[in-house]
Amino acid sequence: MRSALVAIGWCILVGAAAAQTLHTAASVSAADTPEDAGGSIDVAWEASPDEAGEVFEVLGYEVWRATSATGEYRKVADVEPGKKSYQITDATAETGVDYYYKVKVLGEAFGEKMDADTAPRGPVSASPQWFRAGRLNMLIASIILATFILLYISKARAGQKLFIRRIAGLEAVQEAVGRATEMGKPVLFVPGIADIDDIQTIASVTILGRVATMIAEYDAELLVPCARSLVMATAQEVVKEAYLEAGRPDAYHRENIRYLTDDQFGYVAGVDGIMLREKPAANFYLGTFYAESLILAETGHSIGAIQIAGTAMPSQLPFFIAACDYTLIGEELFAASAYLSREPRLLGSLLGQDWGKVLILAFIILGAVTAFVAQFGVEIGGYSINLAQLFEVK
Amino acid sequence: MRREIPMIVAFVAGVIIILEFFVPALTPVSSRIQNWYLVVVAFAILVGAFNLLRLNYMKVRHRRTDWPFAILLIVGFFTMALAGLIGGIDEGTAFDWLFNYFVYPMSSTMFALLAFFVASAAYRAFRARTVDSTLLLAAAFIVMLGQVPIGSIWVPSWWPFFLSPDWLKDRIMDIGNTAGQRAILIGASLGVVSTSLRILLGIERSYLGEE
């Protein structure tokens, strides 16, 4: 009797569920992904009302695509439930092809699985855009900065005398090379562990060119262990050209610019080995460094070498400052080649860069002041000014 | 032409990649240039491997300082290369075993040296000889005290909150340290723009060996 009642109750519940249908996803839209190179379409929808209901359990959503409204649909995405609204990017779309999209809700009630399709949305096609409007501020800032730099380069070209502040680390380069020459020991130049596509490595290689010319003139020995093959190949060419320019092609030894390994700590072991065997009198660490910075700098310190480091990695700078004699901090690394060359056009670019810094500083101060006023408001001559209200800052 | 062609290549590739940041339609061209770079890198690996083997062979041949280590390197190089080429690099292969039981422990050993070097560098940096190093020592002491549980345990209830190591540590890290790091990053970013412009416009030519 009891089991018969349970069976009847179960039938009533299943019947009630069957009487109700699973709701489809609401407000489905399909549109070309904005500010991209084409090849993708954004599909968005709001959750099925059944996600909040008690009869059905929504198991998920599927996004289906076809090239005609009544054509054969192909699944392009599975989406987990649990949000109020959803958006997926179909990155498999072809540029210029018309597509139709459907969103299928997958549900379950009393062990019965069911689904509900939306009507097709479309046609929609992917297309490339010509400008990323969201990056307009970056474009304006880049143009202003480039204008400053080019303006001061042209001023320098015209012969205007430019003042560049003294950078102690770069003043010490000549002293370091001279010391190595006097002691009859080599100079070790470590160009970091990043590849040549890293701007810090490029800056390092440009400095290597200047330092190598100096070394060739002083007739000292230069060692350049590299962690990347392409950096080695570039460094070999740069050093060869520097020796040629200094009129000392005979002093150039290709094998002194060598590849060790791509492995971070394998490279450190190799460079430490070179330091302990060759006992260089001057060590340069210029480029991108990570955890190996302190291991290298402390080993260099233990052999009594004069050490000049430079990196734009804020987390490694304290280690270099603690263990090296001179450290080029951030922008000084990028200024080094221009500073060492003393060429007016290159120095002009440094001055342009400084004016860019002044502009950014002005904007930071302006931002801080407006944020302060927006937060607390000010009263001037009986008038209360609250920027939060003025600009509707919430 | 030896200098002009690399300068033209640097200019064209650089300008396309910069423009692509603002113009999405250029993405396919930019991706192609970056793929070419990857092809060049792949071939450069062979150049690097050849350079490594040649120099170590010369070291053994001329019996230079520590030449037995060069033999070890050559043997290690071919063992790893052959293990990878013959058995693959998946889990459970000989290459995987060599990596897990030789390369990985050796890398970890080098990394572990950092602990000792931090101690020796900190000893030198934190000696209170000047005003700067005394400030550094005081800041480091407060931050370290604020980072460990005992730093806040010893503080009695009547102790002013603005003198507790925890509060001071947060102020030093969030205000002083963050401001300093951002200043470095802003300066470095401007340096990146300036260096890129100099190279693109052919003003910086030291990498081509010309003043």
Residue positions counted in chain A: 394
Indicate if A284 and A218 belong to the same structural domain.
yes
pLDDT at A394 over 50: no
Which of A291, A298, A321 lies closest to B111 in CB terms? A291
CA distance A90 to chain B (A): 17
Quote the CA–CA distance of B172 and B140 in Å, as a whole number: 10
Considering only CB atoms, which chain A residues are within 8 Å of B209? 209, 237-238, 240-242, 244-245
Quote the CA–CA distance of B106 and A261 in Å, as a whole number: 14
Indicate if A181 and A257 belong to the same structural domain.
yes
Nearest in space to B55 (alpha carbons), one of A69, A224, A181: A224
* Domain assignment of residue A173, yes or no: yes
The residue whose two tokens read 């041949």 is B61
| Count of pairs with CB atoms under 8 A, one residue in A, one in B | 208
> How crowded is the C-beta side of B195, counted as CA atoms within 13 Å?
27
Indicate if A188 and A261 belong to the same structural domain.
yes
Q: What is the pLDDT of residue B16?
A: 94
DSSP-derived 3-state class of residue A113: strand
Nearest in space to B56 (alpha carbons), one of B77, B80, B41: B77
* Domain assignment of residue A375, yes or no: no
Find, in chain B, the residue whose alpha carbon is nearest to that of A272: B110
One digit per residue, pLDDT tens: chain B, 211 residues? 777 888 898 899 999 999 999 998 898 899 999 999 999 989 999 999 999 999 999 999 999 888 999 999 999 999 999 999 999 999 999 999 999 999 999 999 999 999 999 999 888 887 777 888 888 889 988 998 888 888 777 778 888 888 888 889 999 999 999 999 999 999 999 999 988 988 888 888 777 765 5
What percentage of chain A reaches a pLDDT higher than 90?
55
Quote the CA–CA distance of A214 and A209 in Å, as a whole number: 9
pTM, rounded to two decimals: 0.82
Interface of A with B in 84-103 (CB under 8 A): none
- Greatest mean pLDDT range, A53-62, A120-129, A337-346, A382-391: A120-129
pLDDT band at A113 (very low <50, low <70, confident <90, very high): confident
Count of domains for chain A: 2
CATH assignment at residue A298: 3.40.50
* Domain assignment of residue A284, yes or no: yes
Contact A191, A204 (CB under 8 A): yes
Q: Does A264 touch chain B (CB under 8 A)?
A: yes
pLDDT at A340 over 90: no
Question: Is B121 close to A203, i.e. CB distance below 8 A?
Answer: no
pLDDT band at A130 (very low <50, low <70, confident <90, very high): confident
* Domain assignment of residue A129, yes or no: no
Indicate if A210 and A256 belong to the same structural domain.
yes
Question: Is A197 close to B203, i.e. CB distance below 8 A?
Answer: no
* Domain assignment of residue A131, yes or no: no
Quote the CA–CA distance of A336 and A317 in Å, as a whole number: 16
Indicate if A176 and A107 belong to the same structural domain.
no
What letter would DSSP give residue B203? -
Pick the residue with more confidence: A3 or B69?
A: B69
Indicate if A190 and A120 belong to the same structural domain.
no
pLDDT at A328 over 80: yes
Average pLDDT, chain A: 87
Indicate if A298 and A178 belong to the same structural domain.
yes
Task: Give the pair of three-digit tokens for residue A26.
Answer: 């609401």
Range(s) of the domain holding residue A33: 23-124
Contact A60, A78 (CB under 8 A): yes
DSSP-derived 3-state class of residue A213: helix
Interface of A with B in 270-329 (CB under 8 A): 273, 277, 291, 294-295, 297-298, 312, 314, 317, 319, 321-323, 329
Indicate if A184 and A55 belong to the same structural domain.
no
CA distance A388 to chain B (A): 24
Q: What is the mean pLDDT of residues A265-282?
A: 95
pLDDT at A154 over 80: yes
Nearest in space to A222 (alpha carbons), one of A240, A206, A198: A240
Q: What is the pLDDT of residue B17?
A: 92
For the ranges A16-20, A168-172, A209-213, B72-76, the lowest mean pLDDT is seen at A16-20
Question: Is B196 close to A138, i.e. CB distance below 8 A?
Answer: no
Residue positions counted in chain B: 211
Question: Is A244 close to B209, i.e. CB distance below 8 A?
Answer: yes
pLDDT at A229 over 50: yes
Q: Who's near B133: CB < 8 A, 6+ residues apart? A: B125, B126, B127
Question: Is A128 close to B45, i.e. CB distance below 8 A?
Answer: no
Burial of A316 (0-12, 13-18, 19+ CB in 10 A): buried
Q: What is the pLDDT of residues A157-179, one digit of tens each?
A: 888 887 888 888 899 999 999 99
Question: Is A331 close to B37, i.e. CB distance below 8 A?
Answer: no
Task: Give the pair of three-digit tokens for residue B49.
Answer: 């491997």
What percentage of chain A reaches a pLDDT higher than 70?
90
Quote the CA–CA distance of B157 and A34 in Å, as a whole number: 56
Task: Give the pair of three-digit tokens for residue A279.
Answer: 């006992």
What is the tally of helices (H) and strands (E) in chain B? Answer: 9, 0
Q: What is the pLDDT of residues A87-100, one digit of tens each?
A: 999 999 999 999 99
Considering only CB atoms, which chain B residues are within 8 Å of A146? 193, 197
CATH assignment at residue A54: 2.60.40.10
Omega before A123 within 30 of 0, i.e. cis: yes
Indicate if A338 and A226 belong to the same structural domain.
yes
Which of B27, B204, B209 lies closest to A242 in CB terms? B209
* Domain assignment of residue A15, yes or no: no
Indicate if A330 and A192 belong to the same structural domain.
yes
Indicate if A182 and A315 belong to the same structural domain.
yes
Contact A225, A255 (CB under 8 A): no
Find, in chain A, the residue whose alpha carbon is nearest to that of B58: A255
Q: What is the pLDDT of residues A173-199, one digit of tens each?
A: 999 999 999 999 999 999 999 999 899
Quote the CA–CA distance of B209 and A245 in Å, as a whole number: 7
For the ranges A13-22, A144-153, B57-66, B85-94, the lowest mean pLDDT is seen at A13-22
Which of A38, A242, A349 lies closest to B198 in CB terms? A349
